[in-house]
Structure 1
Amino acid sequence: MILCCWVPDWPVLSVGRPAEVPVAVVAGGLVVACSASARARGVRRRMRVRVAQSRCSDLLLVDRDVEREVRLFEPVVRRLERDAVPQLEVLRPGLVAMGARGPARYWGGLPQAAERLVQVVAEVGYPAQVGAAETLFAAALAVRRPSGVLVPAGATASFLSPFPVTVLGRGTLTDLLMQVGIATLGDLAALPASRIQARFGSQGVSAQCTALGLEVRPISARGTEEHQVAVEFEEPETRVDALVFGALGLADRLHGQLEASGLVCARVEVRVDLADQRSLTRLWRHEGRLSALALAERVRGQVRAWAEGGDLDTATPAAGVTALVLRPAGLSAAIGTQTALFGGQSSPVELERAAARVQALLGHHAVVRQQVGGGRGPGERVTRIPFGDVPARRLPEGPWPGRLPAPHPATVFETPLAAQLLDAAGRSVRVSGRVVLSAPPIRLGVQGFEGAVVTGWAGPWPVLEGWWDRDTTRRVARVQVTTAAGRAWLVLVQDGRWWAEAHYG
């Protein structure tokens, strides 16, 4: 039997807002978790952000921060280990799993052990509920039922039977099962095993074992020595940033080593050896492939949690870190993805590993990706996000009154350059309240470029942003200008001053 202890809505609780404030934690444009007050207004998990906002106009949106969730959940895990069960696994922030046999014997039975877990978490200040079943998959579903469910031995298959096949989390297989009329785990379990093998292959057989409650994965705090990786420090390291930096490269090394052996891991033990002969360990589990990026994210949060909790004394070199070790557990054969030969596109796994390797060498912000969102100016529409970070919430695409149409500038300056747009008398051209130029522009000067005669212009296009807030309101007007030097510029005027925002090549 396996016990799961769950703190509901942990991503929301980690934000630290009052219960009456409707909060939604978002990632990738979807709601990951929401508060009880938001659910009362119709907000649900996996709902698109725009739909959630339409149902709750005062909904507070917070981008998900897994590192923050890990750091804040560490005191709960530590308290459970001290007062309830000595060995457990963290599936994700807010959810832990453990073997039920030991706690049930010690506390006088499974119901008493579950009650003790809830009590310990309540002492830390959070609500919790407990579920139990013969497999981790079933236990993770049982804990999410109202008040948690303790599934008796031998009843796991009947408990799983009414759940839809979508809970398997296997997208392609799930779609195929539903297309042929297999809607629930009970339907899947009832099919002949030979037919499953012939029609759906090894993944179908594995899914049927899960539906039958036969997928037993023991909960263990032991890792595999053969494939562990470590980084040792010549002098005891006390800087948290240096430890986090080392963890990024270490996670990539671990996955490279496992990949060479044709393996993937579901659990990883993170261990820190200290100069005072102490060691700190934490076991993280992930159902499925624990990618290098996901692992580095968890290690980052774990190291910072130990530092903030006082386990790492960052002020005393004698108590610094001498080694950081990652030990994989729960190894299985890699099904793998077929990569392209002869110059084809790289697989997502290869791209992820390459990005993690560069970040380990040059820093977290060395590899970024661009996200296009809302905005009026060309520099406002693109956001750079460090690879692996949660994407920023997308702004709506429109309407955006005042946005410039295509063609778009070839170069957008990170910081606008000071400019002068002059008329025939040598005075600065002004834009009136009716959005009319005071005189035809004759000459344009831009910082770092030679002044040139204006050969044509278009505009101005006015933009008034944040008019409802006196402190943040912004009023500008943009003008497109061509010059005799062969350049075309996008300039804007704000508070009587001209700036070159971009040029068209």
Structure 2
Amino acid sequence: MSAARPRPVPPERRLVVWCPDWPVVAARAAAGMPGVPGQAADTADAAAVFAANRVVACSPAARRSGIGPGMRRREAQARCPELAVFAEDTDTEARLFESVASAVEDLVVGVEVVRPGLVAVPVDRATAYFGGELPLAERLVDHVAARAGVECQAGVADGLFAATLAAYRGAFVGAGAGAEFLAPLPVTELNQPGAERSELVELLRRLGLRTLGAFAALAERDVLSRFGRAGLVAHRLARGRDERPPLRRTPTPELALTESFDPPLDRVDTAAFTARTLATRFHTGLASRGLACTRLGIYATTENGEELGRVWRCAEPLTADGVADRVRWQFEGWLRAASGRPTAGVDRLRLVPEELVAGRSLQLGLWPGGGSAEHTPESDRAARALVHVQGLLGPEGAVTAVLDGGRGPGERVRPVPWGERRTPAEGHDAPWPGRVPAPSPATVHDPRGPARVVTDDGTAVEITARNEVTGAPALVAVGDDPPRRVLGWSGPWVVQARWWAPEHTGVHARVQVVLEGRDDAVAAFLLRWDAECDPAWSVEGTYD
């Protein structure tokens, strides 16, 4: 007699609170603009957050102008010249979101921050106290607006994925109706922030599977053989289930990491330095047992006995960098909170793996510590020295350069704090019209020094509306030096910024010149011409 096949356990019912356009709200808050947490909202202002020159999020006013996610910056500014432009800043978004998470926690226990802008709470016990799911959601939305000054909307469904999509639509999905709710939605909904599935989504679309229901109708065995483990996880979501089976490992006490501090931590930069060290130890302890953390509990005790805590839920198993980021974000939220800030420094921190999965999805480094082939004792000593500098001066006290996208040499260099991921932004290898070709100048001047460029007859050289020079450069004076004869030159490379705004042309150009030097030596410079500056020519770079 064969054993009966166990029935699948339904996902936990969850309520998700979503703050629309949170990157814009956080960016405006950091800039001190209206319409931020704790201030009256002003939705008439158009604003957008960009990453790699593409829209990540935009305000309602920007959407009314036809701006949407994925749009290029130039097109967005052409549609709305008064658009306020902000760069994506995940640290600021996470720090400011603590006010929203705290407001939700005032009413419901068990708050989990999925990502900045999105929190989830269990509803089974809370609904009995508030009289149902709808009264609970209405109370949460009103409370967040009153305490944090942020507009939000809520949704309820079985499982985090379905509840998140319900929150986007302000929907309440009945128990057991998650698959029916998800079925007509486009398969692109699988590509949520923090869980990059763009390649899988594009493949499903090419195969004609354009809705979650069509994808869910496939047999699980076929999905696993064709799309692998990533496809199987997405298939579970499309069917209205959790991305991982409900029965998981129970964390044992020795997996938690507790650290005491003397003196207590009361500065964000010191906390950021400490977070990186603790995150490495925490992750190494889990990896040595073949485990990975998907829900991280961060608990702190202040010198005055105050208890602080927050749980972060992650779509993918956390790496050491992921743990460090969340600890740093949480400390920033606690120590920089406008209200409810601790009255004393943190003297005890505890990291708890609230949920564990097998660590097979994490590829461990070949070399000790996850370093590269150049991992040597000398590099270790240098790394420790830089970390020590950061402990004294803060995270920005030691930075390395990353070659990023841009047209000018100064625009392409982005400083990254030591220990952070040194990855170029998306779109760094785009054509970038007007970019100066290689080689790049060895020295980039900031601020730029003045220069004067004239022809043989002493006429000042300018750039015409047709992007041409008015005459061949013959003499160049750099700063207070006497003019020197031009041995060779190339260019111009013209950049037209804000071309849609007649009151501000923003045209500038760059020219490379080789000049006679002293003692039979030559000198090479990168010169920049700005139509609206006086003097128009300046020295932007020097070549060796």
TM-score normalised by L of structure 2: 0.72
Q: Give the Å deviation of 1:162.
A: 1.1
1:215 to 242, 246, 250: 242
* Residue 139 of structure 1, CA deviation: 0.3
Q: Give 2:25's aligned residue.
A: 13
Report whether the alignment pairs 1:332 with 2:357: yes
Corresponding residue for residue 224 of structure 2: 197
Aligned residues, how many? Answer: 475
| Unmatched tracts of structure 1, length 5 or more | 424-428
Matches within 5 A, 1:137-156: 137-145=161-169, 148-156=170-178
- Partners of 1:476 and 1:189 in 2: CA distance: 56
C-alpha contact (below 8 Å) 1:227/1:258 kept by paired residues: yes
Letter in 1 for 2:23: P
Matches of 2:224 and 2:66, distance apart in 1? 42
Measured against aligned partners, the alpha-carbon deviations of 1:418-449 in whole angstroms (never above 9, x if no partner) come to 8999x9xxxxx9873677799868x99999xx
SS of the equivalent of 1:115 reads helix
Q: What's 2:136 paired with?
A: 113
Could you tell me how far apart the structure 2 residues matched to 1:371 and 1:22 are? 27
Contact 1:419 1:500 in 2 (8 A): yes
**Runs of 5+ consecutive residues of structure 2 not aligned to the other structure:** 1-12, 35-41, 192-196, 463-469
Quote how far apart the aligned CAs of 1:497 are: 12
Cα 1:177/1:465, change in 2 over 3 Å: closer
Alignment partner of 1:372: what SS?
coil
Alignment equivalent of 2:115, drawn from 88, 92, 115: 92
Alignment match of 1:480 (pick from 504, 507, 514): 514
1:490 aligns with 2:525: yes
Distance of 1:295 and 1:301 partners within structure 2: 10
Supply the AA of the counterpart residue of 2:282: L
1:214–1:100 CA distance, 2 compared to 1 (3 A): same
Given the alignment of the two structures, is residue 271 of structure 1 paired with residue 271 of structure 2, yes or no?
no
Instruction: Note the C-alpha offset of 1:492.
Output: 5.3
Match 1:42 to one of 46, 50, 66: 66
Q: Match of 1:47, SS?
A: coil
| Per-residue Cα deviation, 1:227-270 (whole angstroms, up to 9, x for no partner) | 33344323223333211221123223333333333332222112
> Structure 2 residue aligned with 1:232, among 260, 264, 269?
260
Q: Equivalents in 2 of 1:473, 1:199: separation in Å?
A: 52
TM-score when normalising by structure 1:
0.77
Letter of the structure 2 residue corresponding to residue 480 of structure 1: V
Q: Are 2:282 and 1:258 equivalent residues in the alignment?
A: no
Greater Cα offset, 8-17 or 222-231: 222-231
Moved more, 454-463 or 71-80: 454-463
Match of 2:327 among 299, 304, 316: 299
1:186 maps to which residue? 213
Residue in structure 2 matched with residue 104 of structure 1 by the alignment: 127
The residue type paired with residue 12 of structure 1 is V
Distance in 1 (CA, whole Å) between partners of 2:383 and 2:15 is: 34
1:426 maps to none
Does residue 408 of structure 1 match 2:439?
Answer: yes
Distance in 2, matches of 1:158 and 1:327, equals 36
User: 1:298–1:432: structure 2 CA closer, same or farther, 3 Å change rule?
Assistant: same
- Is the contact between residue 481 and residue 491 of structure 1 (CA under 8 Å) also seen in structure 2? no
Q: Secondary structure at the match of 2:361?
A: coil
8 Å contact 2:23–2:49 — kept in the other structure? Answer: yes
- Equivalent in the alignment of 2:49: 25
The more displaced of 105-114 and 492-501 is 492-501
1:304, 1:341 → 2: CA distance? 33
- Counterpart CA distance in 2 for 1:438 and 1:110 is 75
Select which of 107, 123, 128 maps to 2:152.
128
Alignment match of 1:373 (pick from 406, 410, 419): 406
Tell me: CA distance 1:233–1:503, structure 2 relative to 1, closer, same or farther (3 Å). Answer: same
Give the whole-Å Cα distance in 1 for the aligned partners of 2:68 and 2:536: 47
1:248–1:356: 8 Å Cα contact kept in structure 2? Answer: no
Cα RMSD of the aligned pairs, angstroms, is 4.5
Q: Secondary structure at the match of 1:181?
A: coil
1:160 aligns with 2:182: yes
2:23 and 2:137 map into 1 onto residues whose CA distance is: 23
8 Å contact 1:5–1:95 — kept in the other structure? yes
CA distance in 2, matches of 1:29, 1:498: 28
Q: In 2, distance between residues paired with 1:498 and 1:32?
A: 36
Helix, strand or coil at the partner of 1:97: strand
Distance change (3 Å), C-alpha of 1:172 and 1:226 = farther
The alpha-carbon distance between structure 1 residues 204 and 461, as it changes in their structure 2 partners (threshold 3 A), is: closer
Q: Aligned equivalents of 2:14 and 2:153: distance in 1?
A: 14
* CA 1:225–1:42: 2 relative to 1, 3 Å: farther
Give how far 1:502 is off.
Answer: 4.3
Residues 359-398 of structure 1 aligned to structure 2 (within 5 Å): 360-363=387-390, 364-365=395-396, 366-375=399-408, 378-386=409-417, 387-388=420-421
Partner-residue secondary structure (3-state), 2:171: coil
> How far did residue 338 of structure 1 move?
5.6
Match of 2:309 among 259, 269, 281: 281
Q: Contact 2:18 / 2:153 at 8 angstroms: preserved in 1?
A: yes
Contact 2:306 2:342 in 1 (8 A): no
Given that 1:445 and 1:452 are in contact with CA atoms closer than 8 Å, whether structure 2 keeps it comes out as no
